């Protein structure tokens, strides 16, 4: 492989004297010496502990309240009712009462939570057609085979939105009531702005048609609604015409599949423009009026309502500060052990 070079001569085959070819590239050779490693360990330990403490303090200032309504209070009867599929089309309303002891300051978020619902099964997750949801007309009438068997309804019409994910969309609705001395009043919630910007504006689009005068219902003509739905996709939000079709925010939120079987999804954000909610949710008695539609008894699931405030690093999360504290302490322990070992057996006393 010694390449003969073009230039002849007595030293024609002499290798180049370049740093690369002679393996003499200038280099930095860091070494694991006690002088570098031990301070690094102590430094890391301090950083982790400090971060942990700071996060812990931050988390202490956030609030979270979970109310399980699977069969609490008056929801018990709805739970029984939903056990029988024949009653699927009958509505059922119930109320759950709870109390907030300390004011939830700042923005308050209203979530619904599901326990033991596997949105992360492979066959379930694959069962959707992003091409349909981005508003491609071809996919609207001819959904991807991944949606099988939620692809055609019993009339043979293509389902929009197709697939198991959309089919199983969470369809309870909530009204939060605040009971103060002045009487009961509905807590105002923003039901829009609860999705990622990219989802709302890029990933989910209604089908594009040339004739702009067509109503959404006409656009979706020729498609069927998912089997388990009570309303067609263009009629999901009766109060806001622009929140219908594939860009309905509840649908978008649902379509972002949770990674774990226990999850919560955003339902609404407190509208703080209205008194007495300008500072957040005041302490007091509350109740939630639930339109109880989503059956969970088949899979031993539970449903809950979550009210929460957030900090600079997101919603209430005790794991992170604790994990930081634990890691920090472990590193500190390691550092001490390393120092001891180094002191006793290390370079001070070893041969040489």
> Contacts with other proteins in 39-68 (CB under 8 A)?
41, 44, 48, 51, 55
**Which of the ranges 95-103, 110-118, 211-219, 273-281 carries the binding residues for other proteins, by CB under 8 A?**
110-118
What CA–CA distance (Å, rounded) separates 173 from 300?
Answer: 21
What CA–CA distance (Å, rounded) separates 266 from 245?
Answer: 19
Contacts of 74 (CB under 8 A, 6+ apart): 94, 95, 96
Applying CB under 8 A, among 162, 164, 281, 290 the residue interacting with other proteins is 164
Applying CB under 8 A, among 68, 103, 105, 148 the residue interacting with other proteins is 148
Provide, rounded to whole angstroms, the least separation between the CB of residue 347 and other proteins: 8
Helix axes of 34-60 and 319-345: crossing angle, nearest 10 degrees: 160
Residues of span 3-42 touching other proteins by CB under 8 A: 10-17, 21-23, 25-34, 37, 41
Residues of span 279-338 touching other proteins by CB under 8 A: 295, 298-300, 308, 310-317, 319-320, 323-324, 327, 331, 334, 337-338
Applying CB under 8 A, among 75, 166, 168, 288 the residue interacting with other proteins is 168
Provide, rounded to whole angstroms, the least separation between the CB of residue 183 and other proteins: 28
Pairing assessment for the beta strands 183-186 and 64-68 based on DSSP bridges: unpaired
The number of CA neighbours under 13 Å toward the Cβ of 326 is 6
Query: Quick one: 18 or 213, whose CB is closer to other proteins?
Result: 18
What CA–CA distance (Å, rounded) separates 179 from 20?
Answer: 78
Contacts of 141 (CB under 8 A, 6+ apart): 158, 222, 223
Q: In 3D, which of 120, 73, 114, 118 has the Cα closest to residue 94?
A: 73
Question: Taking CB under 8 A as the rule, which mask of x and - marks residues 188-227 in contact with other proteins?
Answer: ------xxxxxx--xx------------------------
Q: In 3D, which of 301, 294, 302 has the Cα closest to residue 82?
A: 294
Query: Quick one: 177 or 323, whose CB is closer to other proteins?
Result: 323
Q: Does 349 bind other proteins (CB under 8 A)?
A: no
Applying CB under 8 A, among 68, 174, 263, 282 the residue interacting with other proteins is 263
Pairing assessment for the beta strands 302-311 and 173-180 based on DSSP bridges: unpaired
Query: Quick one: 122 or 212, whose CB is closer to other proteins?
Result: 122
Query: Quick one: 164 or 290, whose CB is closer to other proteins?
Result: 164
Q: In 3D, which of 55, 54, 96, 89 has the Cα closest to residue 75?
A: 96
Q: Is 197 helix (H, G, I), strand (E, B) or coil?
A: helix
- Binding residues with other proteins: total (CB under 8 A): 107
Provide, rounded to whole angstroms, the least separation between the CB of residue 111 and other proteins: 8
Q: Does 129 bind other proteins (CB under 8 A)?
A: yes
Query: Quick one: 131 or 276, whose CB is closer to other proteins?
Result: 131
């Amino acid at each position: 492989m010694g390449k003969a070079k073009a230039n002849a001569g007595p030293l024609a085959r002499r290798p180049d004297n370049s740093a690369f070819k002679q393996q003499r590239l200038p280099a930095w050779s860091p070494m694991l010496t006690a002088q570098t490693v031990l301070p690094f360990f102590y430094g890391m330990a301090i950083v982790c502990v400090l971060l942990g403490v700071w996060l812990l303090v931050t988390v202490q200032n956030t609030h979270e309240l979970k109310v399980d309504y699977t069969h609490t209070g008056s929801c018990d009867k709805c739970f029984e009712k939903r056990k029988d599929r024949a009653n699927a089309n009958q509505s059922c309303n119930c109320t759950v009462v709870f109390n907030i002891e300390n004011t939830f300051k700042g923005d308050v978020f209203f979530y619904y939570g599901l326990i033991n619902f596997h949105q992360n099964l492979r066959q379930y997750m694959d069962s959707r057609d992003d091409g349909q949801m981005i508003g491609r007309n071809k996919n609207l009438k001819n959904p991807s085979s991944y949606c099988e068997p939620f692809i055609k309804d019993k009339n043979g019409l293509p389902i929009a939105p197709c697939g198991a994910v959309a089919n199983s969309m969470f369809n309870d609705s909530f009204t939060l009531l605040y009971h103060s001395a002045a009487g009961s009043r509905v807590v105002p919630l923003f039901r829009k702005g609860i999705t990622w910007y990219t989802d709302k504006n890029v990933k989910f689009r209604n089908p594009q048609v040339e004739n702009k005068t067509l109503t959404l219902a006409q656009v979706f003509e020729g498609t069927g609604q998912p089997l388990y739905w009570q309303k067609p996709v263009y009629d999901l939000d009766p109060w806001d015409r622009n929140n219908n079709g594939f860009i309905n925010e509840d649908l978008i939120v649902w379509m972002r599949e949770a990674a774990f079987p226990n999850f919560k999804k955003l339902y609404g954000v407190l509208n703080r423009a209205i008194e007495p909610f300008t500072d957040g949710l005041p302490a007091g008695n509350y109740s939630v009026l639930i339109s109880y539609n989503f059956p969970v008894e088949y899979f031993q699931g539970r449903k809950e309502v979550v009210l929460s405030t957030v900090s600079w690093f997101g919603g209430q999360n005790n794991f992170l500060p604790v994990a930081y504290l634990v890691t920090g302490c472990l590193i500190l322990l390691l550092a001490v052990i390393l120092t001891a070992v180094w002191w006793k057996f290390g370079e001070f006393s070893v041969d040489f």
